[in-house]
Structure 1
């Protein structure tokens, strides 16, 4: 077998191996339906074309010449299937570059029709030379010079790639720059392969070039799928966050209305003041509910203090709340409705359950060099069983339902803990005993600032 024939067989063999890997990857890790189907069809057709080319090069120089006819048939199969493989790849590249966008614009539609006509011509041309008397390097060289019809489909496929790329460029709808760059690479690689094959006639470079382009498209599909998955996870986190916020809101409102109802019976003037405090509290609460991401700790503390003022309106409430906030902590970032629920839990379910009342301490500081905001809410109340909270941590959905029935403390703490983790990778540690409860919230400020940038906070 001549050296160039052996080289073509080796190149085709490696190309088939790459295509097999791509096919296995497409089958074992299926992506979104239509695009993955296009990818599988393109790989399958390209595999058939390369196999035909490999057999043609292997059979053409058989010692007794008995396999010359199978060589021509194999080459005809390769030349017939190759345009279809190129068409499938072009459709795949178009969807990757435009995001399934339909063909728009008169010029793009004309190019689309021209591409279809090119494919029809390409499918008919191999039949004209199916049983040519010779098949060697000279014949292939003549083919690309226009004397032999075998090579014409490859030249037409160059036009096909150019037409489809022009369709992408001529789309009247804006195409992101990264998609345009990806299209340039996807179509540039096989175009270069076809162009080089016109120069180096003895080696079929178009097939490995198309395999490389399919490999690039596979990587692009994988990256796009990962981005879509990340986006879906973000949306799921936002939905979960919204659900948790919705669970907190009726909890606040119900407790406040019950307190005002009691004041209306026992002390109407105080009830009027409580209504005003409640109005301020609701305004702060609804503003916090509308926030996405993080807010300054000073705003969250103002909201907590409005809640405390509402509680202090009850003369029978023997509770004291003390704040000790460092100057640096005032400007730190926290999720909305993170500190206020902790203060409410300490007041209502901690010291509020003691007949003699008690004290709640709220301490906040920024630890260096970790740049970690640490907020501690401690009370000398009755305490509770922390194991209930830890059980809820293992099975969030079930524990939320149980917590809503058993009492507000574990429900509020679980909500705050989950929101801290979802929004800014914060943590919430709880220690409780007969002499009170200590809740420690940690918020990494580096992560919180990134969250603020994504949310558009200045």
Structure 2
């Protein structure tokens, strides 16, 4: 239902307000007219509820038909002034008729009481109009806020899709280059790498529609990616894990770690004649999930900057999903390079 009774809770509060006003009016009438409180309640309560419903609907539709700022002020005042006079007159007539029907159970009716009822009708109609204008303004503000939030969510989804679209082709191009290099020196390894690559992309097909996946699923993808690179590097690539059990259920954006591992192999393991080792650690610390990836690097290697594609992409995705609640930091030490991610520890249950 539209108008002041658009919501059940609002309807009850609205009627309760008019009932309280009816009780107050009955108490004043009992004191002024010298009648019992029961008689004044029997007279006042039905009238106030009736007027509350009629004035509420009338003023609501007038407010919708005469929006402030879109209609000249004199038209608004004229419309509400005429409506208030009509509603107050009808209320006065209803009060007189109701008092006649009550007979001996009514209250003494005179010109002073009639003028009071008419004046109250004018004032109450004006208050209803003000309340409806305020309610309409609040509703529009909430609608605009909802639309703004929806627009922000759509923009964030578009940004995340764009960032994901940058990851997949970059990884595919690098993998195809590796396959091409292996075809001439080790056809069997090239075939194995092609099969592993196909399996990896098969596993990532369903991730497009998922905003978050558990860390255990992300680790499975990483292990499959490492199996692809293991075909290329053999024993030169080693991998250590130190995973807290409590961290496995924590959620994170899909394939957020793959660019970091790819960079670690490209800039660390691939540049060392004897290969290198990747060390991956994840732990939950209260409301935070901490993830660290460290790789061996040559002493002659210049420290990598944080402006590379992998780190920039990861930072952008974390900012799009978590805003200021997540961060990505890097540091270079003697023969090592370390990247640490800190993000909220969210699970499917939470």
Which band: TM-score by shorter chain? 0.5 to 0.7
Indicate whether 1:422 and 2:309 are aligned: no
Write the distance in 2 (CA, Å) between the matches of 1:141 and 1:414.
69
Write the distance in 1 (CA, Å) between the matches of 2:80 and 2:245.
71
Matches within 5 A, 1:50-129: 50=77, 78=78, 81-82=79-80
Matches within 5 A, 1:10-409: 38-41=67-70, 44-45=72-73, 49-50=76-77, 78=78, 81-82=79-80, 145=92, 200-203=117-120, 204-205=122-123, 206-288=125-207, 290-315=208-233, 318-367=236-285, 370-382=286-298, 388-389=306-307
SS in 2 for 1:255: helix
Residue deviations 1:168-209, cap 9 Å, x none? xxxxxxxxxxxxxxxxxxxxxxxxxxxxx9973124222232
Given that 1:386 and 1:430 are in contact with CA atoms closer than 8 Å, whether structure 2 keeps it comes out as no
Give the direction of change, closer, same or farther, for the CA distance of 1:387–1:282 in structure 2 (3 Å limit).
closer
C-alpha deviation, 1:362, in angstroms: 0.7
Residue deviations 1:136-162, cap 9 Å, x none? xxxx9767656xxxxxxxxxxxxxxxx
Residue deviations 1:415-457, cap 9 Å, x none? 1122223224432111125623111112211xx33xx579xxx
Given that 1:263 and 1:271 are in contact with CA atoms closer than 8 Å, whether structure 2 keeps it comes out as yes
C-alpha deviation, 1:277, in angstroms: 1.1
Write the distance in 1 (CA, Å) between the matches of 2:148 and 2:217.
34
Given that 2:242 and 2:280 are in contact with CA atoms closer than 8 Å, whether structure 1 keeps it comes out as yes
C-alpha deviation, 1:384, in angstroms: 5.6
Give the direction of change, closer, same or farther, for the CA distance of 1:384–1:426 in structure 2 (3 Å limit).
farther
C-alpha deviation, 1:308, in angstroms: 0.9
Count of matched residue positions in the alignment of Structure 1 and Structure 2: 262
Residue deviations 1:269-309, cap 9 Å, x none? 11121122111211123333x24221111111111111111
Given that 2:243 and 2:283 are in contact with CA atoms closer than 8 Å, whether structure 1 keeps it comes out as yes
Given that 1:420 and 1:427 are in contact with CA atoms closer than 8 Å, whether structure 2 keeps it comes out as yes
Given that 2:89 and 2:118 are in contact with CA atoms closer than 8 Å, whether structure 1 keeps it comes out as no
Write the distance in 1 (CA, Å) between the matches of 2:88 and 2:215.
76
Residue deviations 1:97-134, cap 9 Å, x none? xxxxxxxxxxxxxxxxxxxxxxxxx9xx99xxxxxxxx
**Corresponding residue for residue 399 of structure 1:** none
Give the direction of change, closer, same or farther, for the CA distance of 1:298–1:82 in structure 2 (3 Å limit).
same
Write the distance in 2 (CA, Å) between the matches of 1:324 and 1:142.
82
CA RMSD of superposed structures (Å) = 3.4
5+ long unaligned stretches in structure 2? 1-63, 94-113
Give the direction of change, closer, same or farther, for the CA distance of 1:260–1:82 in structure 2 (3 Å limit).
same
Write the distance in 1 (CA, Å) between the matches of 2:289 and 2:81.
63
SS in 1 for 2:268: helix
**Corresponding residue for residue 5 of structure 1:** none
Give the direction of change, closer, same or farther, for the CA distance of 1:145–1:333 in structure 2 (3 Å limit).
closer
5+ long unaligned stretches in structure 1? 1-34, 51-77, 87-121, 127-139, 147-196, 390-409
SS in 2 for 1:431: strand
Give the direction of change, closer, same or farther, for the CA distance of 1:217–1:315 in structure 2 (3 Å limit).
closer
Write the distance in 2 (CA, Å) between the matches of 1:347 and 1:341.
10
Given that 1:352 and 1:381 are in contact with CA atoms closer than 8 Å, whether structure 2 keeps it comes out as no
Write the distance in 2 (CA, Å) between the matches of 1:309 and 1:142.
87
Given that 1:296 and 1:334 are in contact with CA atoms closer than 8 Å, whether structure 2 keeps it comes out as yes
Given that 2:92 and 2:117 are in contact with CA atoms closer than 8 Å, whether structure 1 keeps it comes out as no
Residue deviations 1:398-420, cap 9 Å, x none? xxxxxxxxxxxx11111112222
Write the distance in 1 (CA, Å) between the matches of 2:88 and 2:152.
55
